Amino acid sequence: MYNKDNRKNYKPKGKPQSHKAKPNHYSNSKNNVLKDETAKVPSDEVRLNKYIADAGICSRREADKLIEAGEVSVNGEVIKEMGFKVKPTDTVKYNGKLLKKERFIYILLNKPKDYITTSNDDQGRKTVLDLIADACNERVYPVGRLDRNTTGLLLFTNDGELTKRLTHPSFNVRKVYVAELDNNITKEQLEQLTQGVELEDGFSKFDSAIYDTTTNSKKTVVVDIHSGKNRIVRRMFEHLGFEVKKLDRVEFATLKKGAVTRGKWRFLTSKEVGFLKMVK
């Protein structure tokens, strides 16, 4: 406070305040870190592991292992740095082979009996790749496996990221099978399988198990399961003393058999691919 008598000696404290509002340059963080207001220019660079995955070699996680092992070079120089970025003009090689970003292909096959799920067989047996040999020029691989005597839906792709997502145990992808047994099975036994049984490799259970309503037989069962263990459906029925005479996978993740007849295939629609990539 001051009066007329001491006005000459009054000096305002601090700097004079501007009447123009100043922009707020500070974040709400505890340290009040100055924001970077520089506009970010979009980059066409991608991480090396994504480049490898987009080339159809493997998933990003597996690509990290290839990089760490020194199996990948960029412009003639071996790269072991995680997070390394490459430009479209860079030359990327894996084991000396030039990598190029592939067009992603997605093929749905209705697998017949007596075909094995492998890329090649040294015994000369028929493989599932024989059935889609004329589908595309790109190299595609089966997502997961169906044993030789199991029929039904099998997906093929060169999309390493999606393959990893649909086969990794942590995602617990849903599968639906129709199983034809050698004898009638009771409701109590079906309930036992949904509650779970202890197998040699641990506890397993069906999410649901009901009689197939399209038949009047108590030998035919529709089972819903998320486990990806090898031959899990057959082994669970065998645990109760049943032999599975026929096993047909009618649903896989978000895909259904629809009009794809046995031994035939079709390309997935972009909508179907989108739904698959949303699987959690």
| Residues annotated as catalytic (active site), given as ranges | 147
Query: What residue spans of the chain are helical by DSSP H?
Result: 48-54, 60-68, 128-131, 160-167, 187-195, 232-239, 270-277
First-to-final CA distance of the chain: 68
Q: Is the dihedral of CA 235, 238, 244, 250 positive or negative?
A: negative
Contact between 142 and 117 under an 8 Å Cβ cutoff? The reply is yes
With tokens 């493997």, the residue in question is: 58
Residues near 112 by Cβ (< 8 Å), separated by ≥ 6? 131, 151, 262, 263
Tokens of 231: 């031959």
Q: What is the 3-state secondary structure (H, E, C) of 209-252?
A: EEECCCCCCCCEEEEEECCCCCCHHHHHHHHCCCCEEEEEEEEE
User: Which H helix or E strand runs over 46?
Assistant: strand 46-47
